[in-house]
Amino acid sequence: MNAHHADLAAIGVAARLLEAGELVAFPTETVYGLGADAENPTAIAKIYAAKSRPSNHPVIVHIASHAEAARWAADLPEQAHRLIAAFWPGPLTLIVKRAASISAAVSGGQDTIGLRCPSHPVAQALMHAFKNGKGGIAAPSANKFGHVSPTTAQHVRDEFGADGCGPVRCVLEGGQSTVGIESTIVDLSRMATLGPVLLRPGSISVDAIEAIIGLRPMAPDQGAPRVSGSLQSHYAPRSPVALVASADCATTLRALLERGRSVAVISTGAAQPETSGRQAAAVVSLPAEPSGYAHGLYAALRQLDAIGADLILVEAPPRDAAWSGVWDRLQRAAHDSTGTLQSLLA
Ligand code: TXA
Ligand code: MG
């Protein structure tokens, strides 16, 4: 752990709060989570209330190790063991059949459960301190329902208020999340009939999963369990977002500025185009490779959202598979803004 990480005393306090049924936000390598004791339905209800999240959307249970997985699952297929061995601790969530002893409250009433073992050292220390490493921490991303996920402790406070003032009793510090977008979710609950299904793309790719289990996860079907992150408008900032092909970015920006629009820009490296004296309200440049881009994406969306520009113009990244997690989040961020660019140009 480093200077930006909560110390063991703070982590111990957080573990006791969780054991007492309170909500605690904590860092993971993907995004910050809003945690509650996964075996306490009253505590889980507090998560749904704090997030204004519909109660039929299941939450992921975070556990300390591979050894703990069996207690939560009715059945762990052989593919689950192999994926866990390859990717845990890390940004992979597995959906498996839920053990009968585990409350349906945690999985939104479904007969499955999402399991993940995060690698962030503060998350690891918290899971080991909580119930002596034998518990499960139910944790969605620590944002209001439908909003951009937090990648710093300050983002969490921006969502829910200062520690102890709102529903969140404490926010553990852990620096900026390294991965920056939510975990890859693979559904293994219907192996016999469907095989593995990719419910949410993330930094662990379909290719990497196929390399371990010899089966390629397919895209979600109609019968797939509900994933709130798969609602089309999830991860959206308040300002409209438009994704524009890289080759058209400079022309589009110039046209918007000529019409007096205020525009915030997310680009991949290139300097702001010459706009005959007019300036974009702000420009954030993200690395032109997918892991660096994902790392900075949510912080960039939050920073630019705060400006209140007419539009956040995003230079579309390449279309190849390595960018699929980033593309997924960008398309959802832009979903509710369809038509905004055209009307601003009119
Ligand atoms: O990276 C992450 O996964 C972060 C960190 C905090 O671990 N968590 C996260 O949680 O993104 P959340 O709730 O924002 O998104 C988890 C997604 C939801 O869309 C939920 O519907 C889905 O996982 N999920 C959880 N349990 C499920 C289940 N039993 N069946 C289907 N989907 C499930
Ligand atoms: Mg979320």
Q: Which ligand is nearest to the CA of 185?
A: 1
Where among 197, 213, 229 does a domain terminate? 213
pLDDT digits (tens, 9 = 90+) for 291-314: 999 999 999 999 999 999 999 999
| CATH number of the domain bearing residue 278 | 3.40.50
SS3 199: strand
Amino acid occupying residue 16: R
Residue 157: the pLDDT is 96
- Does residue 221 register a pLDDT over 80? no
Q: What DSSP element (H or E) covers 216?
A: none
Residues 130 and 260 in one domain: no
List phi, psi (to 5°) of 37: -60, 115
- Centroid of ligand 1 to alpha carbon of 50 (angstroms): 16
Number of domains in the chain: 2
Overall average pLDDT of the 89-114 stretch: 95
- Is there a single domain that holds both residue 302 and residue 341? yes
Instruction: For ligand 1, say whether the CB of 53 is within 6 Å of any of its atoms.
Output: no
For the ranges 22-31, 103-112, 179-188, 310-319, the lowest mean pLDDT is seen at 103-112
Q: What is the pLDDT of residue 270?
A: 59
Examine the domain organization and report whether 18 and 69 are in the same domain. Answer: yes
Q: Among 53, 172, 227, 230, which is best to mutate for testing ligand 1, by the most ligand atoms less than 8 A from CB?
A: 227
Q: Which H or E run contains 155?
A: helix 153-160
Has residue 249 got a pLDDT over 90? yes
In a domain, 228, yes or no: no
**For the purposes of burial, counting CB atoms within 10 Å of the CB of 343, is it exposed (0-12), middle (13-18) or buried (19 or more)?**
exposed
Q: What percent of the chain has pLDDT over 90?
A: 84
Residue 190 beta carbon below 6 angstroms from any ligand 1 atom: no
Q: Find the range with the poorest average confidence among 153-167, 227-241, 330-344.
A: 227-241
Q: What is the per-residue pLDDT for 29?
A: 98
Does the CB atom of residue 184 touch ligand 1 within 6 A?
A: no
Ligand at shortest distance from the CA of 151: 1
Token pair belonging to 261 = 């629009």
- Report residue 158 CA to chain centroid gap: 16
- Please, what sign has the CA dihedral across residues 116, 121, 122, 127? positive
Question: Whose CA is closest to atom 21 on ligand 1?
Answer: 227
**Residue 274: predicted pLDDT:** 54
Q: What is the dihedral of CA 268, 156, 229, 242, to 10 degrees?
A: -40
**Which pLDDT value is given to residue 143?**
96
List the CATH number of the domain containing 174: 3.90.870.10
pLDDT class of 54 with cuts at 50, 70, 90:
confident
Neighbours of ion ligand 2 (CB under 5 A): 141
Domain that holds residue 270: 241-345
Q: Does the pLDDT at position 129 exceed 90? A: yes
Q: How far is the CA of 227 from the centre of ligand 1 (A)?
A: 7
